[in-house]
Amino acid sequence: RIQWMNRAFPLDPSDRVLQKTSYVFDVSVWELLWANWFGAAVVFAEPEDHKDPYALMEIIEREHISVVHFVPSMFSAFLETVETSAEPARQGLASLRYIFCSGEELKLAQVRATHALLPGAALHNLYGPTEASIDVLHHPCTDPAIDTVLIGTPIDNTQAYVLNAARKPLPAQAIGELYLGGAGLARGYLNRPELSAERFVENPFGDGRLYRTG
């Protein structure tokens, strides 16, 4: 998962990744490890700063943060704060190279606001449950003409299928259940064999299992 991230979004020694997600949430894993593995720096936000858009603007400017993650609801608050801030404060965010969003639906209005307010930052939408090692689908939102925000296509060593109740593939744009497979799949739920058997099922398309996202 982290190797894919650095292949898709290469870091260099000048990059600074903001670590602001609590360690009990899976996003904290790549916030902590990605920069360390590939020669960049990790900058730790103060506790509770992840809830304060003004504090986040300040640390991004002071520490020259280049990579940051937002849950979309907090990203809205951040964008609203940026929009109402004076131009010098906006210029203080010029170090941002990558903004990643996951955990909730990213809205088209947020994407358009990012292009207007933070034109130097590349926005990317990520999707994935903890059962599949954080994020498994990725959609770039870097085109100013974007008109739809998708959850994306599979990252490296990952498969995604939309299946019907009989676990048969559905055509494009049909409604079904999303199944995930690949190297990042969890073994199951600790001490919950019945739930594991319900959610982690045999893969009809190859080796291993698939996770039913519901």
pLDDT of amino acid 153: 97
pTM confidence score: 0.94
**Nearest CA to 184 among 29, 42, 23?**
29
Select 2-154's CATH number: 3.40.50.980, 3.40.50.300, 3.40.50.970, 3.90.1150.10.
3.40.50.980
In the chain (214 residues long), the average pLDDT of successive 10-residue segments reads: 96 97 93 96 96 97 98 98 93 97 97 97 96 94 96 96 96 96 95 97 95 95
pLDDT of amino acid 139: 98
Which class does domain 158-212 fall in?
mainly beta
pLDDT of amino acid 12: 96
Residues of the chain with CATH 3.40.50.980: 2-154
Residues of the chain with CATH 2.30.38.10: 158-212
**Nearest CA to 72 among 115, 103, 108, 99?**
103
Q: Is 177 left (phi over 0), alpha (psi -120 to 50) or beta?
A: beta
pLDDT of amino acid 70: 98
Enter the tokens of residue 2: 């982290």
What is the β-pairing status of strands 122-127 and 98-101? parallel
Tell me how far apart the alpha carbons of residues 83 and 68 are, in angstroms, rounded to a whole number: 18
